[in-house]
Amino acid sequence: MTTLDGRVAVVCGASRGIGKGIAVELAAAGARVVAVGRTERSGTATITGSLEETVAEITAAGGSATAVGCDATDEKSVASLFDKIAGSHGHVDVLVNSVFNSHQFVATIGVPFWELPMAAWHEVVEVGTKSAYLASVAAAPLMLRTANASGYGAGTGGLIVNISGRGAERYRYNVVYGVGKAALDRLTRDMADELRPHGVSVVSLWPNVTRTENLDRDPERSRASFGDLEQLETPRYSGRAVVALASDPAVTERSGKRFWVAELGAHYGFTDENGRLHELPE
């Protein structure tokens, strides 16, 4: 892997979970990270994690990060976010769409669609999928400037990573989850077609079950569902996959496709924290 020194990386959903892990790893690789989320400060939400904590962890490790509060489902808020980024950085190299309300989603797992409240559709499709579309729409013009502004070679005009999952192709958790993830993967394929002539790549990233703050809130229940929590992937494992993709001069060959995090780990040779290896899920 090459370093990402000086590149501008926007991570939507960076206050906790997989998004936070990705933001931390991008900063560790030298990127200037813009951490985006709704929970700006500690103690302002009922669940663990905030942009303040994410930026503090990055800064303590010697990285560069700024926090920007944003409702990723609101078109005006997202447009304002990228106007600020255009003013401060001028362009965007990497966009990660990792917005997902896992705290609210847990209660809907395994519930038949006819018993699900319509709020479940909002939490998955409106929050998860719509936010990825809005951010990509607003980021694309800034990503088209990347090759000229940064002086990188052909084919490195930018990278969009959508955090998706196996529910895109087979039943997982419930119906709305599958709809949301399938839409994300289709978004990846179609955006890749339109952005390919401009050297911008789009990839869907599939983490396996990941040990986030949400699982640690109720470890007994989590162990009953997923086994030994110490053996699960961590958010930073997904972050290392994004760094590997962003560092790969041949990433355009992967554009429009989906990859398990463990699949990329085997290809690029990175491990999870503490040197752990993860097998490719069945």
Query: Which DSSP helix (H) or strand (E) runs through 28?
Result: helix 17-28
The 10 Å CB-count burial string (b at 16+, else e) for 152-173 is beebbbbbbbbbbbbbbeeeeb
Contact indicator for 183, 269 with CB cutoff of 8 Å? no
Give the separation between CA 178 and CA 200, rounded to whole angstroms: 27
Burial class of residue 240 (count of CB atoms within 10 Å of its CB; 0-12, 13-18, 19+): buried
Compute CA distances 75 → 88, 194, 212, 246, whole Å.
Answer: 20, 21, 28, 27
Gyration radius of the chain over CA positions:
17
List the catalytic residue out of 173, 177, 237, 268: 177
Q: Is 177 a catalytic residue?
A: yes
Would you please indicate which residues are annotated as catalytic (active-site) residues?
177
